[in-house]
Amino acid sequence: MASMCISMSADLGWRNTCFLIATIGFCISVIEVVSIREPQRPSRKSKLPALNAEGGHIPAAAKKNFVQAIWAIFSNELVVLVFAASSLRYMGGYVIAGYLPALFASVFPNFDDQYSYINAYVVAGGGFISSWLGGMLADKWRAVEPRARMYLPVCGCFGSLPFMAICCLASDFYVSIFLGLFVEYLIAECWFGPVVATMQSALEADCRALAIACFTLIATFFGSLASYILGYIYDAMLARGYPDTIIRWLVLWSVVTSYVFAGALFLYCATLTRLDTLVTQEKKPLLRGKGLFIDSSE
């Protein structure tokens, strides 16, 4: 939708395009409300002390409060490093999302409509296939290699770099967007599911939701910061007389830097991953009437 709005705005105008996107977002939210539910949680009564084998009482574990949950999250070395690596990865992703339209507009000015529609399918198709294959490969690989969930993001970060170079530097529009951008998405976007699974497996169940919130807040902040910094640099270079096509080099080196450091940090995270990091296992269906589990790989 973000990509197609470039062409939609020419017919509808930016204001109506934004209203349309907001309406679609609201409808998606309604669908989520009626179709997705939280897994059933134990009631207070079920948390009463249970009898042990000798007839004694085992006190139920107390649920963490906010401060305790924050401490549990940020005192976990693996989780903190996953936050850092993911933030670096987000920085490259935000640069791609924010500045590829400017790159294609400056390098291929006669392909605005083609970029608008093709990019939508490239992002949706490449991202979906990569995420799906990433989760599947991580589960199968982890059966023989306990660090697979961290190795896969490493492969995605480093393996996608040649295709990012093709995307930024190719002189042919279709080579750039199909051989470059589509394959880059196909390789790079496999990281998210395995990383979230690793993070949740390293934490107690009563602080996982807060960990996801912290993950999203931190990674989004640094991704937005990268976009701001690149925009500032780009404007400064244009003011000094550089051609607008300099954006291709700014995007390329920003993504390379982001992915290299993220990949290196994911690789270090792999050394902290053990087979026994999973604390608990969710077995409740996430979707009404569907057998989709939160984590069925353990």
Question: How big is the CA angle at 128 (ends 127 and 130), to the nearest 5 degrees?
Answer: 65
Q: According to the model, what pLDDT value does residue 46 have?
A: 54
How far apart are alpha carbons 14 and 115 in whole angstroms?
A: 18
Which residues of the chain register pLDDT less than 50?
51, 53-54, 275-284, 286, 288-298
pLDDT at position 45, please?
A: 53
User: How far apart are the C-alpha atoms of 297 and 51, rounded to whole Å?
Assistant: 31
Would you give the end-to-end CA distance of the chain in angstroms?
Answer: 35
Distance in angstroms (rounded) separating the CA atoms of residues 13 and 4: 13
How far is 169 from 58, CA to CA, in rounded Å? 64
Residue 291: per-residue pLDDT: 45
164 contacts 256 by C-beta, under 8 angstroms: yes
Rg of the chain (C-alpha set): 22
- What's 74-133 look like in SS3? HCCHHHHHHHHHHHHHHHHHHHHHHHHHHHHHHHCCCCHHHHHHHHHHHHHHHHHHHHHH
Element holding 50 (H helix, E strand): strand 50-51
Is the domain 66-277 a CATH 3.30.450.40 member? no
Give the Cα separation of 115 and 97 in Å (integer).
Answer: 13
Cβ neighbours, 10 Å, residue 8: 18
Beta carbons of 97 and 251 less than 8 angstroms apart: no
pLDDT at 2: 64
pLDDT of 57: 52
69 close to 207: Cβ distance less than 8 angstroms: yes
Residue 145: its pLDDT value, please? 87
pLDDT of residue 266: 96
**Lookup: tokens for 71:** 């401490």
Strand (E) or helix (H) holding 51: strand 50-51
Helix axes 148-159, 192-201, angle to 10 degrees: 150
Amino acid sitting at position 207? C
pLDDT at 292: 44
